[in-house]
Amino acid sequence: MTTRGETFVADIEHLDDRGSGRAVVWRENELGNPKKLKLTIPQVLPGEKVRVYVDEPTKKRWRTSAQEILEAHPERVGADCPHFETCGGCVWQHWQYEGQLQEKTNHVKHAIASQGFDPRLVNDTIGMENPWHYRNKMEFTFAVDGSLGLHEQGNFRKIIPLETCLIAGKEMVEAAMVVAAWTKDHQLSGYDKDKHEGLLRHLMVRQSFATGELMLGLFATEEPSGDLEAVVKDLVARITEKFPSVKSLLWLENTDWADVTQSEKTHVLAGRDFIYDEMDGFRFRVWFNTFFQTNPTQAQKLVDIALEMGQPKETETMIDLFCGVGTFSLPFAKRVKQLAGIEIVESSIESAKRNASDNGIDNTYFLAKDARHGLDDILEKFGTPDLLVLDPPRSGAGGKVMRKIGRSKPERIVYISCNPDTFATDIKELVDFGYELKEVQPVDLFPHTVHVECVSQLELKK
């Protein structure tokens, strides 16, 4: 029996962690009793009143779209991108930027307040003067028919072909469109995740805004030889002729079932296998799989704030936990007596060592090990540091690591976070060890999305 749909008027109560609106409506069941229906509605704003249609109102939860905005938020604006309503890359282009920043500040305040900290310690989020074309890295996906684009909102099976992207660097988008045209001209197939067949999987584009160097990486299921040789030569000719800034053009073989941008074998089609980027006056080598901050303008602000909060001194030793390729390590190492960096990804540690050498930094020691056991090794080798900096992944450092940090008693801790919720639960672990949260500074690295970074300062009570 097919359930007939119903139309409701819904008040948007708040936004969830993916930026969609949440609302509750009531209906009567067949016995006349009231039943609650929880709705998830994308592309709406808090406090708006909207009309929605629900296919199956007998469910307890339903995701739907707003048919009509009955009462609009005063900060609602028209989205500039033609793909906004379908593409999953941005969720808040319909919100004035000042409103986005306030929402992010509130998120951080709520997160630390939930763990017993004073929300007044949170400063206003630092935004961008121009919140467009800020990304220096994008990963596009090929549809089965060879079209190049991004996933549809909430549907990783469907690819939205792109004509533009307003958050990526302009030259990056232009290069991606040349690859898309090349794919269509040669009628190349995209990868079918279900059938595990097809040639092209992803296109990764990254560019240094400091040096201008551009990298293109094509992830494919076959090597670029045999029948593909002439086709690939045409790609090289198109790219090198139009984009002299391309210093790395790669063909990356990936036959794995996992739908991730990894490579079993890398073929350099033109240039080298890395590009140069810069941060805080230091030069870094960036490979296709190197983690490097994707918003260089705001990443520089992260470094500046971390240095200001950390107050490094030339007589001190410090630890950089989750150090990656040394983005924070090098600026701090220049200001302290000795720095030890810990990172579980061996290739990142090799890059950190090379980056330190390239920049004439000789007071660093980098260890490839997980955070908890690596911290044991560094503490045994160098003793208690004066300063500890950590920049963990979205999942946070975890209770065991945070308690180990607390027991080691560094005088000052600077925690850089990309997830306010895991950040708050992590620093709660330090309270019992005598640490006091002094300040939290949110920074917007991803305008028009829900994500927010923050830098915080904790000190051991005297």
pLDDT reported for residue 3: 57
Which of the two residues, 262 and 80, has the higher pLDDT score? 80
pLDDT reported for residue 82: 92
Domains of the chain: 6-71 (2.40.50.140), 101-129+295-460 (3.40.50.150), 137-279 (2.40.50.1070)
Catalytic residue among 90, 323, 418, 454: 418
CA count, 13 A, side-chain hemisphere, 398:
9
Report the alpha-carbon distance of residue 19 to residue 302 in Å, rounded: 24
Q: Read off the pLDDT of each residue in 58-68 and give the average, rounded to a whole number.
A: 91
User: For residues 413, 419, 422 and 427, what is the CA-based torsion angle, rounded to 10 degrees?
Assistant: 20
Report the alpha-carbon distance of residue 144 to residue 185 in Å, rounded: 15
Report the alpha-carbon distance of residue 124 to residue 443 in Å, rounded: 9
Q: Residue 63: how many CB atoms within 10 A of its CB?
A: 12
Q: Read off the pLDDT of each residue in 140-167 and give the average, rounded to a whole number.
A: 87
**Tokens representing 191?**
């990868």
Report the alpha-carbon distance of residue 388 to residue 319 in Å, rounded: 5
Q: Read off the pLDDT of each residue in 141-148 and give the average, rounded to a whole number.
A: 94
- What mean pLDDT is reported for the chain? 94
The lowest-confidence range among 39-48, 78-87, 443-452 is 78-87
Report the alpha-carbon distance of residue 10 to residue 16 in Å, rounded: 16
- Work out the pLDDT band at 415, boundaries 50, 70, 90: very high
Predicted confidence (pLDDT) at residue 403 exceeds the cutoff of 90: yes
Report the alpha-carbon distance of residue 34 to residue 456 in Å, rounded: 47
pLDDT digits (tens, 9 = 90+) for 97-131: 999 999 999 999 999 999 999 999 999 999 999 99
As to burial, measured by CB atoms within 10 angstroms (0-12 exposed, 13-18 middle, 19+ buried), residue 280 is middle
Predicted confidence (pLDDT) at residue 22 exceeds the cutoff of 70: yes
- CA geometry: angle 28, 31, 33, nearest 5 deg: 45
pLDDT reported for residue 263: 81
Predicted confidence (pLDDT) at residue 1 exceeds the cutoff of 50: no
Is 165 in the active site? no
pLDDT digits (tens, 9 = 90+) for 309-364: 999 999 999 999 999 999 999 999 999 999 999 999 999 999 999 999 999 999 99
Buried b (16+ CB within 10 A) or exposed e, 111-124: bbeebebeeebbbe
pLDDT digits (tens, 9 = 90+) for 251-294: 999 988 777 778 889 999 999 999 999 999 999 999 999 888 89
